[in-house]
Chains A and B, each alone.
Chain A
């Protein structure tokens, strides 16, 4: 049989399959004044508008219910949920730090291997946790309750607590329309769903970048020009030379997936954090997923990713691509808090040790070799993704 020449149909594909996303906007005058090409404007506009529209979580029957959000908030700050009666969700997720804790790695009943992520905008995620071991916010909310290093509780502890505490039993009844059942696991899952209903309300406010992006969209040069020059130069690097938007894309500045960013994955210099590889294995072993009996959506409509996710060798050392919104108040950074400042993060990519990247992994990251001014500009841009006032 004859081997025929292989033709990549790039051009045809570009014409026929292509991106739904963006319309050239901003107007020629606006983009020329601001120093962006039409392609750059398209990429900038793809990072908004903010916030995305709200939709209820079909796997959680109390998603969006005010009573559930109220109960969830009460639970979030309640240390009785822990085995020792002294640790609440808010012990690590501190509201004044945008629900992070300022530590390199979390510490509750015992030390934890990973950094506490902030919770703003968490509801928009496909996967939860640095390794993506949960596919729902309610499933993710159950995990620290049961982890012996964090809250160290059990289904029996939670069931007994909710049934025997007048305030919790009454709030449960208001939220779920019935008294807490005798089945401890059902109570535990419902507590996770109430906690999720509260966390769904934690959405970050629009930022200086959003004001710039929206001004660009409507061709308002005057408003767009209020965006600081350093942030504008940093944005140009972010979508250009820095190649950052390959992973940090869309309105949340994340693709919601997992990558090896060349960050050390040894814990205390001796144990390996398997990252996404462990996350997928834990997901498959968990009863609290979209494929399990606690999903309130009988159609299992959102379970496709859990059914079809592939466990690959390259998942070792991969960690979730975090959103870049609200970074200013959630230092330190990376999955184990290894980078104290945003400048440290940018320098990490500028001086990247490519030999450290997984030999079987992706070939995306390259040492950027940024100048000090470019580093400062990228930091200015990243800072513009935080609102000046607290939500």
Chain B
């Protein structure tokens, strides 16, 4: 597996195959992401299960935070060799003013630093997991007051 690259904004979709994730709140998972502690949310696609937790745990508007992320591959598949994470406000048609920096911390775990939601409202976290010429896209919406 190649070392994951730093986080980037989502590229043009082009011919990539996108999988939109289902946020899970209790359904059976094919694997358990190795996130230390309780996740804030767990998302899954055909190939992967991703759990994450913000740090600090309470995300406030206009305050910097990081994400602890863990990924596992379902059904004996290989972990992604490229991971990207970003966030945007779909209703406002803009993203963040800062580009998060993603660092692989080993065994499918990552830390993404430098998130700042500069407005209250609905934000969507997006994760892109690439492997074998395919890309799985997972998304999670959250309301920030």
Contact = CB atoms under 8 A, between A and B. Distances in A.
Interface string B72-116: 000000000000000000011110111111000000000001101
User: Which interface residue of B21, B98, B114 has the most chain A CB atoms within 10 A?
Assistant: B98
A314 B94 contact: yes
Range for the number of chain A residues in contact with chain B: 35 or more
A22 interface: yes
A19 B58 contact: yes
A20 B59 contact: yes
B119 A247 contact: yes
Contacts of A256: 62, 118
Interface string A356-391: 000001111000000000000000000000000000
Contacts, number: 131
Interface string A1-12: 111111111101
Contacts of B145: 18-19, 21-22, 42-43, 46
B113 A304 contact: yes
Given A246-B120, A304-B113, A308-B100, A18 B141 contact: no
Contact of B58 (A5, A12, A18): A18
A106 B92 CA distance: 34
Nearest to A16: B40
B139 interface: yes
Contacts of B131: none
A247 B61 CA distance: 10
B31 interface: no
Contacts of A234: none
Contacts of A361: 93-94
A195 interface: no
B92 A364 contact: yes
A14 B22 contact: no
B99 A308 contact: yes
A113 interface: no
10 contacts: A5-B22, A9-B23, A10-B143, A12-B41, A17-B57, A21-B61, A304-B113, A305-B116, A309-B99, A314-B94
Given A19-B60, A304-B98, 20 more contacts: A4-B46, A5-B20, A6-B139, A8-B23, A9-B141, A9-B142, A10-B122, A12-B23, A12-B25, A13-B41, A14-B143, A16-B41, A17-B41, A17-B58, A18-B58, A19-B144, A19-B145, A20-B60, A245-B120, A246-B120
